[in-house]
Amino acid sequence: MRLGFARSEDPNDGRVGATPETVATLTGRGLEVEVEAGAGTAAGHSDEDYTEAGAQIVDGDKLFARAETLVVVGPPTIERLATIAEGAALIGFLRPVHALDLARVLAERRVTALAVELIPRISKAQSMDALSSQAGVAGYKAVLMAANRMDKLFPLSMTAAGTVRPARVVVLGVGVAGLQAIATAKRLGATVKANDVRAAAAGEVESLGADFIHIPGVTDQAEGAYAKKLGEELTRAQHEALAPHIAQADAVICTAQIPGRAAPILLTAEMVERMPAGSVVVDLAAEDGGNCDLTDPDGPTDHGGVRIIPAPQLARSLPKEASALYARNIAHLLARIVTDEGELDVDADAELTGFLLARDGEVLHAPTAAALAAAGPNDLEAAS
């Protein structure tokens, strides 16, 4: 198999799906690995590093046209995707449901598209769970961003001039990003509270030394490993439960996302207006609409002295570490779906086939197919 690794399409995203370490592993299995020129520069890997590991360095146009299996970070542009070999395979974060133009072209070119954000969260898939690995990086960086922007020290400080009380942090959403945010804020000395609609999250929060904010009337709201939206009555109960804690918070870290859907609004404008001046909201869900009602995806805003910072795809701000994790996820995935003869076999494990976005001219991911059917031809670009 000829396996290609492309640079990120986003100039602000220096992540890449291969490191020299994983290239050596893949070539050791007999795969022919090609890396786009300059793809690893921002992650600290030169073209020479990849060459020494056994890869060939090629230009982007050749990479897309030649690869039998192509690994990307985010969705490629429609222009680049149009050059991919018909019937090839594409692996990466492909934004199911959201990137409808992309899904349509994938079907037209009969590409076997594997969206890594759809990899099931089951024990056997943990080593290839790229969504979790990148979320962990994002949760860590979100807290550092909050610490840098808010008008408050994180730790308790007892000085001759008096005592500085620790910062109060509220984390909304206790998935991988939320748990990492809790752990990081605790290490920096803050007092931390957290909320999630999954009742099982309470034990995880408390094990990290934080307090869990319970929602009256909610026992568990989850779909597998993911939270889901509450109904109108329970949403109101959640806002009421959160309001007094948000009013005292120096920083709120928003991490609640539901794959393939708009992010739930957990932080209303009224709640933000009650926060102390100089406090910060960091919204990791900004790309999907945001958990804060006032989040502007185009950039930071100030609302009554509260700084609201959109932070989509925050893992890209640490390209070296994020790439190392993502590359290992991809290597583990390929080890599972590439045969000893070097052939792609996405049906090797029935439990993993849920990450198939498209194949043989058909969009297989039901929510994406439904969104395509609902969108008229003139609406596709706007929906992407």
Which residues participate in catalysis according to the annotation? 121, 126, 129, 132, 226
Q: What share of the chain is helix, strand, coil (3-state, %, to 5)?
A: 40, 20, 40
Residue from 355, 361, 322 nearest 337 by CA: 355
Radius of gyration of the chain (CA): 22
Q: Look up residue 243 and give its two tokens.
A: 């309001």
> Could you tell me if 91 and 359 are in contact, meaning their C-beta atoms sit under 8 angstroms apart?
no
Alpha-carbon separation of residue 109 from 99, 104, 128, 356 (angstroms): 16, 9, 26, 15
The amino acid that residue 199 corresponds to is A
Alpha-carbon separation of residue 333 from 34, 213, 350 (angstroms): 18, 37, 14
Strand 251-254 to strand 168-172: parallel, antiparallel, or no bridges (unpaired)? parallel
Dist. CA 16–CA 22, nearest whole Å: 11
Dist. CA 259–CA 367, nearest whole Å: 10
Dist. CA 279–CA 270, nearest whole Å: 15
Half-sphere exposure (CA, 13 Å, Cβ side) for 212?
A: 19
Alpha-carbon separation of residue 194 from 13, 185, 187, 226 (angstroms): 29, 11, 15, 16
Compute CA 319 distance to the chain's CA centroid, rounded to the nearest angstrom. Answer: 13
User: Concatenated DSSP letters for 324-354?
Assistant: HHHHHHHHHHHHHHB-TTS-B-TTS-GGGGG
